[in-house]
Amino acid sequence: MFKVFSKCTLAALVVTSSCVSAEQTRKLDSSIWQLQWSDEFTYADSELDKNWISQNGPTENPWVLSSRWRDNAQVKDGVLHLIAKKESRGGQEWTTGNVWSKRSFHYGYFEARFKYAGAYGTNNSFWFWPKQGVKGDLKACEIDVNEGHFPNIINTNVHNWTDTYTLPNGRVAHSDKQLHHTLIGKPDHTLVFKKPIKSKKIRLTSNNPASIHISEFRVFPPSASYPNAFDVEQVNSANNLAQVDNVTIKTNGLFNKLMSEESFAIDGNPQTRWVSKKHGEKFLQLSWDEPQEIGAVQFINGWLQEHGVDKGAYRNLISDYSIEYHDGNNWQKITSYNAADVADFSKDFHTYGIEWDKDYFNFYFDGELYYTMRNDVCFSETTMLFSLAILKAAIAGPVSDDIDGTSMAIDWVRYYTRKENSEH
């Protein structure tokens, strides 16, 4: 039916033409699944309201900066555009669009083909929420197939909004299972400087929308060659200035939901990692008592999935960074990286799918399975939503005028159910 992500599609899709795209190879097994409902958006804009309801007014969610209006949901040339505009309306400084289905859905396979809005700060969502309410003792469940963040971050989540609890600080919380997925890219970066620099301070900075995970950050003096990031023997034989006695480390802080320490980034153990605070600019800075001659920086980021269908894949790969050194007066940039140069989900359409039944959720990217989790809470019928939001606190990256005029573009959405005699 579907394919599990191979090493080719995870790591090499963007660097070699020998890998055939999943969009070309994917085939839905018609002996198991039958199409029940779809919207291809091949009609006039005025007909959108036959299948969908649009928000018209301010957004109550305190993390969302945009009010949402029917004007911002436009069908054109077979595509539904949810448009972001910098305009004051409804008491908020931005406007965007969102729609939810008039009909309800239950178990099956759901898939939508869309592009992200091409700017940081945007939340491009394909999700489910029971706007019609739930019956009896069933839970109010939110299923996020993807809350996508530019340029290529996929966010999955399942919320139980019924069973809330109060934290010691008085904040009311609920159960959720949020994960940030970066399926294209690599965890190791070795940055060899064109000319060695001499400095007491060097740092990595990033506007990554989520926490950054650094398992090892290494600094090397000039050399004819540098170690493979994952070759223990090579690394141990190299002179790593991040592990000398007089080095000090400073960061923007720690993510409080994971076991983490700043020192884990330079402890020589790839099994531990520093996990930054989730919001705002992230940085990791090393300082020495005396200037050091530096020829290269190397780091390993993200976290390694050790179980399930995605065993061996890395999660939470960094979206952007700069490497800088201090010249005694100011910070000077040596090099920078932008994951949009590797994979930009606002430039090309991709499909995001979920297979949902009473036992499991299976998440798919371009028709290939990349993540599975148990279903412990979502058993009621629900409505389908597409929404574009602008998020505060750099949750999806910094908010800037680059957002103005961008859109989440949905090509189609389809819903399949299993045939009665198919294996489950």
Within a 13 Å sphere around the CA of 205, how many CA atoms are in the beta-carbon half?
Answer: 13
Q: Tell which of 341, 375, 407 closes a domain.
A: 341
Q: Which secondary-structure segment (H or E) carries 25?
A: helix 22-25
pLDDT digits (tens, 9 = 90+) for 352-361: 999 999 999 9
* pLDDT, average across residues 401-420: 96
Region of poorest pLDDT, from 146-150, 313-317, 400-404: 313-317
Token pair listed for 393: 């606190």
Check whether residue 313 and residue 204 sit in a common domain.
yes
pLDDT for res 6: 38
Contacts for 386 with CB less than 8 Å, ≥ 6 apart: 80, 82, 98, 99, 100, 112, 114, 125, 126, 408, 410, 413
* pLDDT, average across residues 315-324: 93
Check whether residue 48 and residue 145 sit in a common domain.
yes
Place of tokens 């600019």: 281
* pLDDT, average across residues 35-61: 97
pLDDT for res 307: 74
Mean pLDDT, the chain, rounded, equals: 90
Domain holding 154: CATH number?
2.60.120.200
Q: How far is CA 109 from CA 50, 61, 132, 159, 245, in A?
A: 23, 29, 21, 19, 56
pLDDT for res 311: 76
In a domain, 423, yes or no: no
The DSSP 8-state label assigned to residue 130 in this structure reads: -
Residue 284 carries which side chain, given as an amino acid letter? L
- Domain residues for the domain of 250 are 188-341
Check whether residue 158 and residue 226 sit in a common domain.
no
Q: What are phi and psi of 243, to 5 degrees?
A: -120, 15
pLDDT for res 286: 98
Give CA–CA dist 150/154, Å, rounded.
Answer: 9
Check whether residue 100 and residue 211 sit in a common domain.
no
pLDDT for res 403: 98
pLDDT for res 15: 25
Whether residue 18 is predicted with pLDDT greater than 50 in this model: the reply is no
Check whether residue 33 and residue 129 sit in a common domain.
yes
Check whether residue 201 and residue 236 sit in a common domain.
yes
pLDDT for res 23: 40
* pLDDT, average across residues 280-286: 94
Centroid of chain to Cα 173: 22
Whether residue 210 is predicted with pLDDT greater than 60 in this model: the reply is yes
Q: Tell which of 302, 319, 341 closes a domain.
A: 341
Check whether residue 167 and residue 51 sit in a common domain.
yes
pLDDT for res 424: 57
In a domain, 199, yes or no: yes
Give the residue with greater pLDDT, 9 vs 401.
401
pLDDT for res 27: 61
Whether residue 231 is predicted with pLDDT greater than 90 in this model: the reply is yes
Whether residue 4 is predicted with pLDDT greater than 90 in this model: the reply is no
* pLDDT, average across residues 128-146: 92
DSSP codes joined into one string, 327-375:
-SSSEEEEEEEEGGGT--TTTS-EEEEEEE-SSEEEEEETTEEEEEEE-
Check whether residue 14 and residue 154 sit in a common domain.
yes
Check whether residue 53 and residue 22 sit in a common domain.
yes
Q: How far is CA 325 from CA 213, 216, 242, 260, in A?
A: 21, 19, 14, 25
- Helix/strand/coil percent split, the chain, to 5: 10, 45, 45
| Nearest in space to 259 (alpha carbons), one of 246, 273, 269 | 273
Confidence grade of residue 423 (pLDDT, cut at 50, 70, 90) = low
Whether residue 195 is predicted with pLDDT greater than 70 in this model: the reply is yes
* Number of domains into which the chain is organized: 2
Give the residue with greater pLDDT, 396 vs 308.
396
* pLDDT, average across residues 243-254: 97
Check whether residue 29 and residue 127 sit in a common domain.
yes
Check whether residue 279 and residue 360 sit in a common domain.
no
Burial of 261 (0-12, 13-18, 19+ CB in 10 A): middle
Check whether residue 240 and residue 151 sit in a common domain.
no
Q: Tell which of 285, 306, 341 closes a domain.
A: 341
Confidence grade of residue 421 (pLDDT, cut at 50, 70, 90) = low
pLDDT for res 39: 98
In a domain, 424, yes or no: no
Whether residue 278 is predicted with pLDDT greater than 90 in this model: the reply is no
pLDDT for res 203: 98
Give CA–CA dist 235/249, Å, rounded.
Answer: 20
| Nearest in space to 365 (alpha carbons), one of 22, 8, 7 | 22
Whether residue 302 is predicted with pLDDT greater than 60 in this model: the reply is yes
